[in-house]
Amino acid sequence: MTDLKNPSLAPPVTTVGIMGWMRQNLFSTPLNSGLTVLAVAFIYLLLVPFFQWAVWNADWTGSDQSACTSGGACWVFINARMELFIYGFFPTSEYWRVDLVFALLAVLIVPQFFERFPHKGWIGFFTLTGFPVLVYFLLVGGSFGLEPVESGKWGGLMLTLVLAFVGIVAALPIGILLALGRRSEMPVIRTICVCFIELWRGVPLISVLFMASVMLPLFLPDGVNFDKLLRALIGIVLFQSAYMAEVIRGGLQAIPKGQYEAARALGLGYWKSMSLIILPQALKLVIPGIVNTFIALFKDTTLVLIIGLLDILASVQSAIVDPAWGSVSTEGYLFAAFSFWIFCFSMSRYSQALERKLETGYQR
């Protein structure tokens, strides 16, 4: 019998806390112990030389190649060319307009990561509707006393964010309409949507951008000409909306037939049943697929280089060939890769938080 006068003994130290976790997950069997030791040794052999080159032996301050004398990474190159990587060839006197856009974007996006932030829904609605209009007037200029800046001078991170933001905002609603059209009972609408989706999914984005830049002006009336950036945006939106349509169609097919029948039983029309019952459930189920498409879109913006637009990666490539800097390609590509990783990882983490909030998984 248990002695009620004596309290229960604490569990062994080796079964709780960090020691317990390591014993259960890393050293549970001889095979796992060996694999853990090999993994730690591999990480040590890989990371220590990298940090010696990238941090401890790196050069951080200076203005030209002469400041890079330690034999490590030459981050002086990144500091010296940071304006090119951020603003492209935007006029120096107008940098404040780009900075204002970045600040507004941060102010509008950050509240979405806090569950109880007041008026978060209205902030999100303004981000998708009013913010793009505001960005247009700030960056293009020509109104309210702002100096006009042609899109050929846009570049760097600014151009990457413009391409990705417009592509995301426009591709999602178009993709929803295409997915609904593909499942429509009207043969004409269904055929048009199927042909559109299969056409754009069957060609690479490089071809789409090239055709949008070269061939699209040939189909326009005389005197009508689209800006190169606008043509690229049209190609990106049409291309990504086709992929988005298939992701959303998968969510629509996952909804039980009873949900459609329940909507009809309530007397709801097609658009009300879709907007109030079917689409909210379908979009919740395919959040990972939607965000995955957004991440792919963000990375695909680098392809605009083929039509003469310099995004952040193209800006890095144009800078590392400068003979005044010697061999700085590794530093440049690492900077570009880290910049893309920051934004893609943020989107991934936000989607996971959204999944947990909406409880998209099935719990037992």
Q: What is the pLDDT of residues 244-262, one digit of tens each?
A: 999 999 999 888 888 888 8
Q: What is the mean pLDDT of residues 276-282?
A: 89
Give me the pLDDT at residue 362, please.
46
- pLDDT confidence band for 8 (50 / 70 / 90): low
Contact 282, 248 (CB under 8 A): yes
Examine the pLDDT at 3 and tell me if it is beyond 60: no
Q: Using an 8 Å Cβ cutoff, are 148 and 227 in contact?
A: no
Residue 321 has pLDDT above 90, yes or no: no
pLDDT of residue 283 exceeding 70: yes
CA distance 171 to 176: 9
Whether 270 contacts 304, CB under 8 Å: no
Two tokens, residue 110: 């950050």
Q: For the chain, what is the mean pLDDT?
A: 86
User: Rounded CA gap, 340 and 345, in Å?
Assistant: 8
Give CA–CA dist 17/322, Å, rounded. Answer: 53
pTM of the full predicted structure?
0.83
CB 170 within 8 A of CB 239: no
CA 184 to chain centre: 31
pLDDT at 158: 92
Q: What CATH fold (topology level) applies to the domain 76-90+149-358? A: MetI-like fold (1.10.3720)
Chain-centroid distance of CA 13 in Å reads 44
Tokens found for residue 5: 């006068």
pLDDT score at 9: 61
Distance CA 309, CA 176 (A): 29
Tell me how far apart the 2 most distant CA atoms of the chain are, in Å.
97
Tokens of 265: 């039983």
Strand partners, 59: 74
Q: Are the C-beta atoms of 167 and 230 separated by less than 8 Å?
A: no
- Using the 8-state DSSP alphabet, how is residue 154 labeled? -
- CA dist., res. 140 & res. 94, Å (int): 11
Q: Among the ranges 4-8, 19-23, 69-73, 145-149, which has the highest mean pLDDT value?
A: 145-149
The rounded distance, in Å, linking the Cα atoms of 348 and 364 is 25
From the CA atom positions of the chain, what is the Rg in Å?
Answer: 26
Q: Pick from 1, 2, 4, 27: which is nearest to 14 by CA?
A: 27
* 3-state secondary structure at position 310: strand
The pLDDT assigned to 363 comes to 46
Which pLDDT value is given to residue 364?
A: 39
Taking the domains of the chain in order of start, what are their residue ranges?
A: 13-56, 76-90+149-358
